[in-house]
Amino acid sequence: MGQGGCRKNPDEKLKASGHAFTVGRLTEVVTRSENPAAQERAKSALAQLNNGIVDTTPILIGAGLGADGSGEIHLGVTCFDEDEDLRGLRIKERHADPNGGTQVIDELYPVFASYYTSPPYVAPAYSVRIRTADQRKDESAWKDYMISVLDELIRWSVQKERTNIEDAVSKAPPKPTMPPVWISIPEPNQVRVSISAYDRAGHESESIDVEVASYSMRRLREAARKQGR
């Protein structure tokens, strides 16, 4: 007896589901975001998704800093990367000094390193630390973190029985504890904070300014004071 219809490959089903999810999330940004620049970046991402070419350069759609009710400070980002190889975020800050000069802080944080592959659309929120003095990225701690991530990915790759993508996702390796991500609170005419996303191949998105909603600034500053104690 012949089968009625053609059974889809599990990989194809997962890919179709991921495509639909990405289109849905990007469309939400286009239709609901109050930020015109974010809307345009989401439109660009949708155009890439539908042009029949796997584009390699990430698009960072939005980045926001805020604090929740418990005082935890989060950096939320929304990013599109069609070839699914995100590696991290570049945080670049420009601080005006009293003499009219500018101090620049430029740090790379490989926050996506523990992803075996990154989905085309990601919108994570990372717990961060606010610079209140001269804090900088701990290069040694991040080097150790990268070694731990690599060790877990190798162990997982060797031990797993990879029958299909769904199985691989369900058995993703545990994520080592991430070292602190340092960032300053943007201040008009004093501190400009921008972020870009980069991938494993070295492609980097355009840089965008970090946003802080006016209604959340008081809570954010209070949380930063408590962090610095």
When pLDDT is cut at 50, 70 and 90, the band that residue 134 belongs to is: confident
> What share of the chain in percent tops pLDDT 70?
87
Domain ranges of the chain: 57-137+180-227
Q: How distant, in Å, are the alpha carbons of 116, 117, 125 from that of 172?
A: 8, 10, 19
Q: How high is the pLDDT of residue 3?
A: 45
Q: How high is the pLDDT of residue 10?
A: 52
Q: How high is the pLDDT of residue 228?
A: 78
Q: How high is the pLDDT of residue 176?
A: 85
- The matching CATH number, chosen from 1.10.3470, 2.40.10, 2.20.28, 2.60.40, for 57-137+180-227 is 2.60.40
Category of 146 on φ-ψ map: left (φ > 0), alpha (ψ -120 to 50) or beta = alpha
The answer, yes or no, to whether residue 161 has pLDDT greater than 60, is no
Q: How high is the pLDDT of residue 166?
A: 52
Q: Is the dihedral of CA 140, 143, 147, 148 positive or negative?
A: positive
The answer, yes or no, to whether residue 55 has pLDDT greater than 50, is yes
Helix or strand holding residue 202 (H, E): none
Q: How distant, in Å, are the alpha carbons of 100, 193, 202, 221 from that of 105?
A: 17, 9, 20, 20
Tokens, residue 34: 């109050």
In degrees, to the nearest 5, what angle opens at C-alpha 39 toward C-alphas 37 and 43? 115
Overall average pLDDT of the 97-105 stretch: 91
pLDDT of 170-224, one tens digit each? 455 667 899 999 999 999 999 999 999 999 999 999 999 999 999 999 999 999 9
DSSP-derived 3-state class of residue 159: helix
**Are residues 196 and 90 in contact, defined by beta-carbon separation less than 8 angstroms?**
yes
pLDDT of 23-42, one tens digit each? 999 999 999 999 999 999 99
Neighbours of 33 (CB within 10 A): 17
Q: How high is the pLDDT of residue 155?
A: 78
User: What contacts 61, CB < 8 A, 6 or more positions away?
Assistant: 26, 29, 38, 41, 42, 45, 78, 79, 80
Q: How high is the pLDDT of residue 179?
A: 97
> Which of 95, 105, 85, 119 lies closest to 197 in space, CA to CA?
85
Q: What is the mean pLDDT of the chain?
A: 88
**Are residues 202 and 209 in contact, defined by beta-carbon separation less than 8 angstroms?**
no
Minimum mean pLDDT range among 10-19, 164-173, 178-187: 164-173
Tokens, residue 86: 């995100």
Query: How many angstroms from the chain centroid is the CA of residue 198?
Result: 9
